[in-house]
Amino acid sequence: MDLSSIREGELKEVFNELEETFERLNIDFYLIGALARDIWYARGDKKFRTTKDVDFAIMISNKEDYKAVRSYLIDKRGYREVKTNSFVLLTPAGIQVDILPFGEIEINDEVKFDGTGLSNIKVNGFSEVYHAGTETVELSTGHSFKVATLPAIVLLKFIAYDDRPEVRAKDARDIINILLHFFDLQADLIYESHADLFGGEEMELEEIATIVIGREIRKITAPNEELAKRLNGILEGLLSTKENSPFIRNMVSESGRAVEDILNLMTRLQQG
């Protein structure tokens, strides 16, 4: 995949360093966050805001393994700590790298460290995405990374917003953009795996795409009934509060669509 449009070539050295570190320490990983989103957006001709930040989810067993990753990057690659966030490092060039641990290190879907600033994060859904919500993508830098799919990104953004709504206003904007453009970006998936949505109830392509996203999320959450219930509860809350929800208002502002249109898509997502 050619990612020149998102300046991913500038990240080749960072990818090299992180890949070497994870392989040396025998740690599996996948790309999440804004860069994962941009990788899928690069399949289409839509223009979105892009990022230079790098977010990797890494599967580890204990805090010592996580500290080993940070120590290697700091000691061997000149990365710098960020005092306000225990999960962020800065490359020598100043690129922000978020390294988010999940797996056996979790306690009640949370990872917690001693320290100042942000020292605990919720990772609800990370393991489920690792097992059923990633695809391996060949990047133009020569790397082959597992990348969270767009439905997985939608899932994680709903959860992240629910955890910290006061600092996650952009999640609503990102989600509505994915819903509105998913058909163009993933038409092959929709036609090949969800053809039953055509020819029955008359729906807009955006509605069909949103149902497909819901179906793909259902596959990811299938092993975890509590996670599925949590997402359903989030959607129920949005549908009940309607325009009184800051989340819905952010979607309206980003998309220019009416509140009724946004609520219809939330209903379609829940339907999926």
Q: Report the run of H or E that residue 137 belongs to, with start and end.
A: strand 134-138
- How many alpha carbons lie under 13 Å from residue 101 in its C-beta half-sphere? 26
CB atoms within 10 A of CB 41: 23
**4-148: CATH topology:** Beta Polymerase; domain 2 (3.30.460)
pLDDT digits over 149-192, tens only? 999 999 999 999 998 888 888 999 999 999 999 999 999 999 99
Cβ-contact 125, 184 below 8 angstroms: no
- What kind and span of H or E run contains 86? strand 85-90
Tokens of 137: 């993508």
At 52 the pLDDT is 66
pLDDT at site 50: 52
Task: Write phi, then psi, for 86 (nearest 5 degrees).
Answer: -75, -5
pLDDT at 120: 77
pLDDT of residue 207: 97
The per-residue pLDDT string of the chain (272 residues; one tens digit each, 9 = 90 and over) reads: 444 444 555 688 899 999 999 999 999 999 999 889 988 988 765 554 455 679 999 999 898 999 999 999 999 999 999 988 889 999 998 999 999 999 877 666 767 776 656 667 888 999 999 999 999 998 888 899 999 999 999 999 999 999 888 888 899 999 999 999 999 999 999 999 999 999 878 899 999 999 999 999 999 999 999 999 999 999 999 999 999 999 999 999 999 999 999 999 999 999 99
Where helices occur in the chain by DSSP H, the ranges are 12-24, 33-41, 63-77, 126-132, 150-163, 170-185, 187-193, 205-221, 225-241, 246-255, 259-271
The model's pLDDT over 207-242, given as tens digits with 9 standing for 90+, comes to: 999 999 999 999 999 999 999 999 999 999 999 999
C-alpha–C-alpha distance, residues 91 and 84, integer Å: 16
**What ranges do the domains of the chain cover?**
4-148, 158-271
Give the pLDDT score at 1.
45
φ, ψ (nearest 5 deg) of residue 218: -60, -35
